Amino acid sequence: MNKTQLKKIRDTLVKKQTLVFDQLTKSQKNQAFKFNDLYKTFLDQSKTEREATRQIVKTARDNGFVNIDTLISKNLTPKSSKKYQTKKVYKVFQDRCVALAVLGKDSLVKGANIIASHLDSPRLDLKQNPVYEDLSMGLLKTHYYGGIRKYHWLAVPLALHGTIVTANGTMDITIGESLDDPVFTVTDLLPHLAGKLQANKKLSEAFEGEKLNLIAGSIPLGGKKEKDRFKLGVLNLLYEKYKITEEDFVSAEIEAVPAEKARDIGFDRSMIGSYGQDDRVCAYTSFKAILDTLSCDRTAVALFFDKEEIGSEGSSGAKSNFLEDFMSDLLFIRGQDMGNRSLRKALINSSCLSADVNAAMDPDFKGVHEEMNAAKLGFGVCMTKFTGVGGKSGSSDASAEFVGKIRQIFNKNKIVWQTGELGKIDEGGGGTVAKFLAKFGMNVLDCGPAVLSMHSPFEISSKADVYMTYLGYKAFYTDNDSDHNFGHDSGNNFGNGK
């Protein structure tokens, strides 16, 4: 066999792995960088799930999305009202989870194209009785949220973001984001004395959750004989500035998050370092994708959940009824609400990308990955067929048919994609919202960019991957080949839409 024949065989048979920067033209690269500048602004303005919700809703409204609850309460469905000739609706739940939809031409009973991400990120939450004093300092107790490596949170500047329900109403606070603001921090032990307590211990035992306390002040209130005067100093300032009392913390959600802004990484500025990219990178890219979806056959839905980092529990997590509620509202305003069966069919006929990050292979920690099946930074949006631990336990394993469908959409639209597993089989693992959507019977595939230093206060993404993820999500929304159902009952024998 000659060289030309061999090359032909290689070119035809061997799977190609494309580096996004090898494929982008100069102008596409500029577009990608511009897109990422906006993404960085979103990250800086959205350090909590509530803030991300506010940003999404504000921009959605500016882009013509209408509150579906308002439409329904005023009986102003897009069909019935001249005032609301909108195809674009949104719904907010508990100020911390959001759904957007662009109504498609097809009947919703045939299913929607859904992209589901989450807005919450690991952090330190203030406890309900946080304020105390020790060694002439005022301190705040925290209880960490989500999977953190505790040592990441020591000796770094932290900002407080949150919502407090007082006797006089609800207020939001942000302290530590402006350069003039004070910040808060958890102390760490000096290396000279860390031998017994940290250095010689197993990493999992060297840092205790109860020691993640924030320094909050050191000027006392009152004279030397005054009891608890450092705690009193903190409480007094809180009252002077925000009119909050110690009891108000009971009904507060205050999160300590890294005070740093999103930054470019590298001489070539090709990457972004920031807190909260898991999963606001998927939230932002799917949000931009649905904003840019001007018309579609299948209804496009973007879901932004809370509580993924603690197992999707609670009324705002993916295990809740939020999606069913939103879908029945959509059926209602489309005049396709024929009861429970139409809702079930709309859900089972839907296709879903579970938009979450995967772990990129790390040059310093290659050993935890199986190289042939690990995602790498810069190689495009990553399809993760299954997550889970050990033998795929706890995972929603996407069907070959659905992976094939998404692969076909991506290839057709020149989206650079790769596949990934979350580490070596016996190394560990994790999960996403995928299985909580798959329970409705819809096809679900995990799909998002890979990041380095995942769950750290400074996660790293590739600008090329962020941009490809956005383009990939947009292609998924606007794909007009309606063959999404792979043998499901399409349910199109009823429902009065097209």
Which parts of this chain interact with Zn ion (CB under 5 A)?
A: 278-279, 356
Nearer to Zn ion, 248 or 356 (CB): 356
Give least dist CB 334 to Zn ion, A. Answer: 31
Give least dist CB 85 to Zn ion, A. Answer: 37
Nearer to Zn ion, 319 or 484 (CB): 319
Give least dist CB 418 to Zn ion, A. Answer: 18
Give least dist CB 356 to Zn ion, A. Answer: 4
DSSP-H helix ranges across 63-195: 68-73
**Residue 444 in contact with residue 437, Cβ under 8 Å?**
yes
Name the nearest CA neighbour of 452 among 334, 335, 363, 354. Answer: 363
Nearer to Zn ion, 255 or 278 (CB): 278
Nearer to Zn ion, 270 or 312 (CB): 312
Which residue has its beta carbon closest to Zn ion? 279
Nearer to Zn ion, 279 or 465 (CB): 279
Give least dist CB 400 to Zn ion, A. Answer: 25
Question: Which value, to the nearest 10 degrees, does the dihedral of the CA atoms of residues 111, 64, 117, 91 take?
Answer: -80
Max CA pair span of the chain: 94
- Name the amino acid, one letter, at 465: D
CA distances from 334 to 80, 85, 108, 329, 340 (A): 10, 12, 8, 9, 15
Return the SS3 of 243.
coil
Give least dist CB 258 to Zn ion, A. Answer: 17
Q: In 59-122, which ranges are E strands?
A: 66-67, 88-93, 97-102, 113-118
Tell me the C-alpha distance between 110 and 347, whole Å: 9
Nearer to Zn ion, 51 or 278 (CB): 278
CA distances from 359 to 10, 318, 455 (A): 29, 21, 10
Give least dist CB 38 to Zn ion, A. Answer: 21
Nearer to Zn ion, 260 or 356 (CB): 356
Going by their DSSP bridges, the two strands 358-359 and 300-305 should be labelled as: unpaired
